[in-house]
Structure 1
């Protein structure tokens, strides 16, 4: 949808209803706020559960963080309500605020729990089996680790190397890296994905992996 300056956005009925109640006054607006807050909490809980394996936020703490995320997202949504132009459904637009809050809070949570972690520190012995290799299948695991180190040095950019080392080698959660470096979450994910692909190509070319083996 292309809007010219001064044009009013053309909204789908559900989005128009949301905007109507949230810009109203009195009981209608209060009911809309309660409804929106409930939706945002459910999204926050879902997103936190989805990332639970890397965040270690569970139980009562997860519920508390979900409510914080929902509350902060709601304030941001109401503050930016007049910027909603209807390119997507209102709920889709609103949910993005929750996801951003979840990422931000999980990142801060990690650094609060692990204040001494250094992103540049390399602990190759903790290298996960990120390329579909069972350590028991490879007689010389040390050789494989050295091969990955060589691939990292020879095939990755400095940016990819830093992110791969932090996230894959040292196991720092993606959200924590995003928080620490002030980067875009999707850009970090893509950089690590591209790094893993380059390393896998190197390992296959040098006989450390079977190219037919599923990899990441």
Structure 2
């Protein structure tokens, strides 16, 4: 893909030209912004290829074109939100990268099957050790809470609740993938996750754990290791 040079503009120039309805400078500014966003998306994908390795180069470029266009439309609708606290292109860049992150996640999970979601619903057996500043009591409390979380999820949630909760919360599977595989609407998925979390919270409280205490224990905790 040949690279098109984007003309430099100040923040006021970007805003005034993008708002110049029907004038040649608006069309030029829109195309320059689209090219800038396209380069940002392609660069992001080149640095983070993992989730798109199954796609051919032409497919990646098409995905990038679509994302750049979507980001452009979103930016044009939100020009009034720009506060001038950074360069306009820096502000616009965030839209492109956020959309790229969402697309990368979608690509990662797009071929995920219902069977695989259910099979992966068992939580790992983490072991907590505070190596930076050894604190056996803290590590023991973290371990006890994690074991309780695992027990409640494995024994007190339905198979469907367990699969959906672990997929969304622990495996970062997009909600759209869950709705497709489980044939549920988004509200039903959100309610199921909410109900599962509420049950988990109640069981932890029944066993004497306080939510504030849990957040304090895990707030600055080092990453656990697999058993």
TM interval, shorter chain, is 0.5 to 0.7
Root mean square deviation, CA, Å: 4.4
Alpha-carbon offset, residue 178 of structure 1: 7.5
Q: How does 1:97-112 map to 2 (within 5 A)?
A: 97-112=95-110
Number of matched residues?
154
Mapped to 1, the partners of 2:86 and 2:74 lie a distance apart of 17
Mapped to 1, the partners of 2:49 and 2:145 lie a distance apart of 28
Which stretches of structure 1, 4 residues or more, deviate above 3 A after TM superposition?
150-159, 176-182, 193-196
Aligned partners of 2:71 and 2:99 also within 8 Å: yes
Mapped to 1, the partners of 2:25 and 2:87 lie a distance apart of 21
Give 1 or 2 for the bigger CA radius of gyration. Answer: 2
Gaps of 5+ in 1: 1-12, 128-149, 183-192, 209-216
Aligned partners of 2:51 and 2:107 also within 8 Å: no
Mapped to 1, the partners of 2:103 and 2:91 lie a distance apart of 19
Alpha-carbon offset, residue 196 of structure 1: 8.3
Alpha-carbon offset, residue 111 of structure 1: 3.3
Query: Does 1:17 pair with 2:10?
Result: no
Mapped to 1, the partners of 2:113 and 2:98 lie a distance apart of 22
Mapped to 1, the partners of 2:144 and 2:68 lie a distance apart of 42
For 1:13-51, what per-residue CA distance to the aligned partner results, in whole angstroms no more than 9, with x for missing partners? 721121121111411111111100100000011112222
- What is the TM-score with the length of structure 2 in the denominator? 0.51
Check 1:194–1:44 CA distance in 2 against 1; reply closer, same or farther (3 A cut).
farther
Query: Does 1:199 pair with 2:224?
Result: yes
Gaps of 5+ in 2: 1-8, 127-142, 154-162, 179-185, 187-217
